[in-house]
Structure 1
């Protein structure tokens, strides 16, 4: 262990490099200590941590995840649809407007998640690699959501959502890389489960906030944005960060292109995990993007009743996912098995999605939400732990996790266009058959591909 003599006994690394690990003069051995809480050991770059993090630090991770998602997913799941309904009363136009606004924003998520991860790997700030991008990103997200709240037309909404996704994904890329930096493998499953619970809880809270503020566009977007700003900033101050004194790698055109690519032939397990995530997120967002329209156009509810029913449904989904996520995360660490649990959860999610096709009551909708919640809770609890296990390069974890998070963002970009076509063109805006069948098939393929991962049980 290395200590800073100017501050008494202050541990700054979790572990010394093993024999054969060449000292790197570009790494500041003192690092950037956490500003909140008892001083924590600072990880050494490129070495998987061995010491466990305390409960209060894990709580900071969970709350930061909650903060990012409550700010971002409220608009993605409900608020933008409610905003669209204030600009037009035609159902087909509302669907088209929602798709037009969300699609370019999801493209921004693809670009800036990957770039954000690579930039945070290379950042030489005295505050660390991840912390500056988390704070700047969440501040930018808050301002961008304000632009959407004040928008007077779809173009301004689309610009605001593009900027929102860009800033949120800069923050999220740095955040997720920080989790990989800080945790030992024995905390992957439990923490992954808690992160999944935080994500689903954020969707639930964002949905309830949307129902509460559905008539006030400013509060609808800004209440979750400010909550996210506070929680992410607090975690950034809790983070003990390694510091680069100098950038060891050039950032040229070749490096820029490589930012968006991790060779699936060289790293097949990582590639299969990527496709599994891509397909379940596509299945999820094919429905989530048009969930409010499902309630109004398929079940025949009014806009207000639909928002309230969606809020209840998301609550059912979240409670089910919390229970399943806690159990699955604990089991995956206990048994050391992740792949089978991931594949089964994706398959069950597809079954729940297909079940929506045969629902004609709000109660039936809640049942399907419960099934999908159980499946998605299991999935999120185990899949992130699986991904941490198959990372190709720990020292550049931000870059590889940025590539992996493209599997989150790309489906969100595709879902509005694909789903909008299936719903508006094949379903006339009210028939969800093609949309939900496509979602179920997507989940099925994701489950099959996950089973081919070899490096994880």
Structure 2
């Protein structure tokens, strides 16, 4: 926002007339970095390494890694969001945290690459998750901070395209490192570091040293770490809907390597080829769809129904491998789910911003609502592990469908957003 003084010498805000394309590019590159590293490891490289070290307990161990990651991520997302809300510096409130945590998260991934035991891997993975969420919470808050409402759909499309590149492009890359996991993890450490730093540079956040800062007291500090309670019903409906959608998505993503090998009986080479093709389909649809839907959302001023429909579309795609346990159904899932997730990701952030109870605590509140991303990424494999152990691989597909349909229904109960 630009600032000027009116005739009464009062400071007022004026929306910029120029589309913030540089910030858009920053918000495309940023999530491609942190999410690419997370998904590349969580969906492919970690399960592969765990399967080598402890093949008899691999399903339970993937669930354990997910549980630990969910716990630390939930806390870290809120904490770093609140800390960035309170930060005043010549580089703004978000940039110092994005740069610092990009560096730290890359360091922990390098240590993870050289870890030879499950215990040490688990510790490094947890520390990486903490630092990575220190990038996520401040980064996404920049949409609320700096983007006028008339462009939020379009800028969210940039963020969605970055998410698609990170989410699905990482699968194509990670599949190439299945025979050399250590090198793959180091690659993703460099990926997350470079793209995090480039994102911060492109965002070029202005100084906020002169911004009003409430006196820092114990009461004020605690207030920055509390969850919203006033005028927050729609906020929590959006959070629950998002959590269910992402949980459903990662029921398959977290175990896709095992689905191809153990459910569809593919060998390692065929599984790697199918993973790469599936990830390519997801990436193409994930990039193409949000690039179209975001600007359309700005034109029609509707976000609730598109979010609900695209959540359900993911569930429809997930049902196909239940019907026929052959590789083509996973590829078809990649196309259908990719369309749904691509459209979803471009309008979801707009919905999240529009249901915020208080703009002054945007990063903390978005950190809470966006931890549904991280929590869903982690909770999905936990649900999958439970279902697999009780009913077998075939049951995870209708379970995902059910979860996504419930999530889409919850979104429709939001009243304050069209």
- Structure-1-length-normalised TM-score: 0.85
Match of 2:173 in 1: 209
Work out the CA distance in 1 between the residues paired with 2:8 and 2:358: 17
Match of 1:184 in 2: 148
Q: Go from structure 1 to structure 2 and tell me whether the alpha carbon gap of 1:22 and 1:287 turns closer, same or farther (over 3 Å shift).
A: farther
Give 1:154's match in structure 2, choosing from 113, 118, 122.
118
- CA deviation map 1:70-94 (0-9, x unaligned): 122211211111111221333xx11
Work out the CA distance in 2 between the residues paired with 1:141 and 1:328: 32
Return the offset for 1:335. 0.7
Work out the CA distance in 2 between the residues paired with 1:305 and 1:407: 33
| Residue 421 (structure 1) aligned with residue 386 (structure 2) | yes
Q: Go from structure 1 to structure 2 and tell me whether the alpha carbon gap of 1:17 and 1:51 turns closer, same or farther (over 3 Å shift).
A: farther
Give 1:286's match in structure 2, choosing from 234, 246, 251.
251
**Count of aligned positions:** 416
| Residue 267 (structure 1) aligned with residue 232 (structure 2) | yes
RMSD between aligned alpha carbons?
A: 2.3
Match of 1:41 in 2: none
Work out the CA distance in 2 between the residues paired with 1:143 and 1:64: 18
Return the offset for 1:119. 0.2
| Residue 105 (structure 1) aligned with residue 69 (structure 2) | yes
Return the offset for 1:251. 5.7
Work out the CA distance in 1 between the residues paired with 2:62 and 2:9: 52
Return the offset for 1:415. 2.6
Match of 1:321 in 2: 286
| Residue 342 (structure 1) aligned with residue 307 (structure 2) | yes
Match of 1:411 in 2: 376
8 Å CA contact retained: 1:338, 1:382: yes
- CA deviation map 1:197-224 (0-9, x unaligned): 2111122221122122222222211112
Return the offset for 1:250. 3.4
Gapped regions of structure 2 (runs ≥ 5): none
| Residue 77 (structure 1) aligned with residue 43 (structure 2) | yes
Return the offset for 1:284. 0.8
8 Å CA contact retained: 2:224, 2:364: no
SS of the residue aligned with 1:15?
strand
Work out the CA distance in 1 between the residues paired with 2:62 and 2:46: 7
Return the offset for 1:18. 8.0
Q: Go from structure 1 to structure 2 and tell me whether the alpha carbon gap of 1:19 and 1:154 turns closer, same or farther (over 3 Å shift).
A: farther
Return the offset for 1:432. 2.8
Q: Once structures 1 and 2 are overlaid, which stretch shifts more, 13-22 or 66-75?
A: 13-22
8 Å CA contact retained: 1:101, 1:155: no
| Residue 453 (structure 1) aligned with residue 417 (structure 2) | no
8 Å CA contact retained: 2:95, 2:205: no
Work out the CA distance in 2 between the residues paired with 1:309 and 1:231: 27
8 Å CA contact retained: 2:36, 2:188: yes
Work out the CA distance in 2 between the residues paired with 1:254 and 1:356: 51
SS of the residue aligned with 1:432?
helix
Match of 2:134 in 1: 170
Return the offset for 1:244. 3.8
Q: Go from structure 1 to structure 2 and tell me whether the alpha carbon gap of 1:274 and 1:51 turns closer, same or farther (over 3 Å shift).
A: farther
Structure that is richer in helix per residue: 2
Match of 1:230 in 2: 194
8 Å CA contact retained: 2:354, 2:417: yes
Work out the CA distance in 2 between the residues paired with 1:357 and 1:21: 66
Match of 2:264 in 1: 299
Return the offset for 1:369. 1.3
Match of 1:27 in 2: none
Work out the CA distance in 2 between the residues paired with 1:271 and 1:17: 37
Q: Go from structure 1 to structure 2 and tell me whether the alpha carbon gap of 1:257 and 1:421 turns closer, same or farther (over 3 Å shift).
A: farther
| Residue 440 (structure 1) aligned with residue 406 (structure 2) | no
Return the offset for 1:312. 1.0
